[in-house]
Amino acid sequence: MNTFDVEELRSETPGCEFGVHFNHSGASLPSRPTLETIWRYLHREAVDGPMETAIDAGPLLEDVRADAASLIGATPDEMAFMGSGSAAWGAAFAALPPLAAGDRILVGRQEWGGNLATMQAAAARTGARVETIPAREDGGVDASALANLIDDRVRLVSLTWLPANGGLINDAAAVGCVTKAAGIPYFIDAAQALGQIPIHVGALGCDALTAAGRKFLRGPRGTAILYVRRAFLQRLTPSYLDVVSGPIVDGVVAIRNDARRFEASENSPALLLGLGTAIRQAKAIGINIIHERITTLAGTLRDNLRSIPKVTVRDLGTDLSGIVSFTIDGVPASEIRVALAERQIATGANGVPYTPLDMTARRLDQVARASVSYLNTPSEMALLSDAVAALAARA
Ligand SMILES: Cc1ncc(COP(=O)(O)O)c(C=O)c1O
């Protein structure tokens, strides 16, 4: 595709016929080609037998792996397919060397709540500590402050690159420079980045990167990627194995020598092939083009919302993503979400558990979240702004 034909892309997206979708950071709308890939494969499974069909699917899934790898600047042997972003992140974390009392884990202030819960539970079991890296004045992670926190007890630095509760884009590459110099494992949660902004794991300097397929990339639910840097892989011991990730050969466990040591042998080829279609579509449009359009649309939406009395845009940072967060004085975000849904406008409402450190630091209990995809149009944004203005006027 040489030009960005949004109308054509919308006409290939069944969900665009039925409402206005501003919840791409929760889960986006899959395209018809993605749905057809899934349906075709499920039909073949039903007719020819699931195990029998899987024999042919093997090479196709390796193509998906190669495409997923090239989307983030990795190699196929560094990629595992997982069932969710949390499962991917948790698998990598659980595979780190055991923590001991006094060990430290450093996290960004916008760390995803699920990752944080996993780390805090591990810290509570072992006597390790989870500490928050100070934020800069604009709310983003402060890489210089991180450098000052490093000592020989730090076992992991974890950063949620684009937080779930707003438009901030953390400077993940600056954090990577610090961790690389210190030789400390560095995990990036890229759930909200995949399919929205360009990703190059080499430039980020991370050891592991995780993301679900269903968000800005528009892949199916139940899919996720786990990247593990080749040279880092040997430092990770999966918390469990199966007959493909660690077969017993001559009485000895032969753990796979690539990132598939984390992958379950029982998965859904239909969904993974659907993920492959979504990846190919995003690459055909061009991630830079997608990013540019999202930035422009989200910028306009923020300007519109800022002009409405009683509405406060809550996004931190200077370099902003397509996630637009806001509050209306006197109206809880959960009510905003319901009221907009009644007008067929899908948005999100984020409470404290999604990003506990940041919400607590900012004394926010909920924010409304309108996340913008390249699929959205200026007229949809006007509809959303008008609906928010009407709600604010009633408050
Ligand atoms: C930043 C971030 N990280 C991780 C996750 C968790 O992904 P999943 O729901 O696939 O486990 C989410 C989900 O919204 C997220 O926004």
Mean pLDDT of 160-179: 98
Q: How does pLDDT run across 71-105, given as a tens digit for each residue? A: 999 999 999 999 999 999 999 999 999 999 999 99
Instruction: Look up tokens 């590459």; give the residue.
Output: 173
Q: Which two tokens stand for residue 48?
A: 């020819």
Query: H-helix or E-strand containing 73?
Result: none
Cβ(367)–Cβ(314) below 8 Å: yes
Instruction: Please tell me the distance between residue 213's alpha carbon and the centre of ligand 1 in angstroms.
Output: 10
Pocket of ligand 1 (CB under 6 A): 84-86, 112, 114, 160, 164, 189, 191-192, 212, 224
In terms of Cα–Cα distance, which of 204, 121, 193, 200 is closest to 163? 193
Query: Rounded CA gap, 76 and 90, in Å?
Result: 21
3, pLDDT greater than 90: no
Q: How far is the CA of 252 from the centre of ligand 1 (A)?
A: 36
Give mean pLDDT, residues 168-191: 98
Ligand 1 centre and the CA of 86: distance in Å?
A: 6
In the chain, CATH 3.40.640.10 covers 34-284
Q: Of the residues 23, 28, 84, 86, which should be mutated to test ligand 1's pocket, given the most ligand atoms within 8 Å of the CB?
A: 86
Give the C-alpha separation, 293 to 282, whole Å.
13
CA of 85 to the centre of ligand 1 (A): 5
Cα–ligand 1 centroid distance for 52 (angstroms): 33
- Checking if the pLDDT of 1 tops 70, the result is no
pLDDT, residue 199, reads: 98
C-alpha of residue 125 to centroid of ligand 1, in Å? 24
The tokens describing 178, both together, are 């610090």
What distance in angstroms lies between residue 369's CA and the mean position of ligand 1's atoms? Answer: 14
Distance 150 CA to ligand 1 centre (A): 27
**220 neighbors 39 (Cβ within 8 angstroms):** no
The protein residue with its alpha carbon nearest to ligand 1, atom 14, reads: 26
Q: Whose CA is nearest to atom 8 of ligand 1?
A: 85
Q: Residue 165 C-alpha to ligand 1 middle, in angstroms?
A: 11
- What pLDDT does residue 4 have? 74
- Which of 82, 158, 159, 192 has most ligand 1 atoms within 8 Å of CB, for mutation? 192
**To test the ligand 1 pocket, which listed residue (25, 189, 271) has its Cβ within 8 A of the most ligand atoms?**
189
Domain with CATH 3.90.1150.10 in the chain: 6-22+287-394
Mean per-residue pLDDT, 163-191: 98
Measured in Å, residue 384 CA sits from the centre of ligand 1 at 24
Closest CA to 95 of 243, 253, 232, 265: 232
Q: Return the ligand 1 atom nearest residue 87 CA.
A: 11
Give the strand pairing for 366-371 and 348-351.
antiparallel
As given in the structure block, the two tokens for residue 179 are: 């961790």
Q: How confident is the model at residue 395 (pLDDT cuts 50, 70, 90)?
A: confident
Dihedrals phi, psi of 393, to nearest 5 degrees: -65, -30
Instruction: Give me the mean pLDDT over the 127-148 stretch.
Output: 98
SS3 content of the chain, % helix, strand, coil (to 5): 45, 15, 40
Residue 192 has pLDDT above 70, yes or no: yes
Domain 34-284 = CATH 3.40.640.10: yes
- Name the closest-CA residue to atom 16, ligand 1: 164
Contact in structure between 228 and 257 (CB atoms under 8 Å):
no
Q: What is the mean pLDDT of residues 345-370?
A: 98
pLDDT tens digits for 243-290?
999 999 999 999 999 999 999 999 999 999 999 999 999 999 999 999
Using the atom order of ligand 1, give the atom closest to the CA of residue 355.
1
Q: What integer best gives the mean pLDDT of the chain?
A: 97
Q: Give the separation between CA 31 and CA 40, rounded to whole angstroms.
A: 14
Which of 331, 330, 333 is CA-nearest to residue 367? 333
Class of domain 6-22+287-394: alpha beta
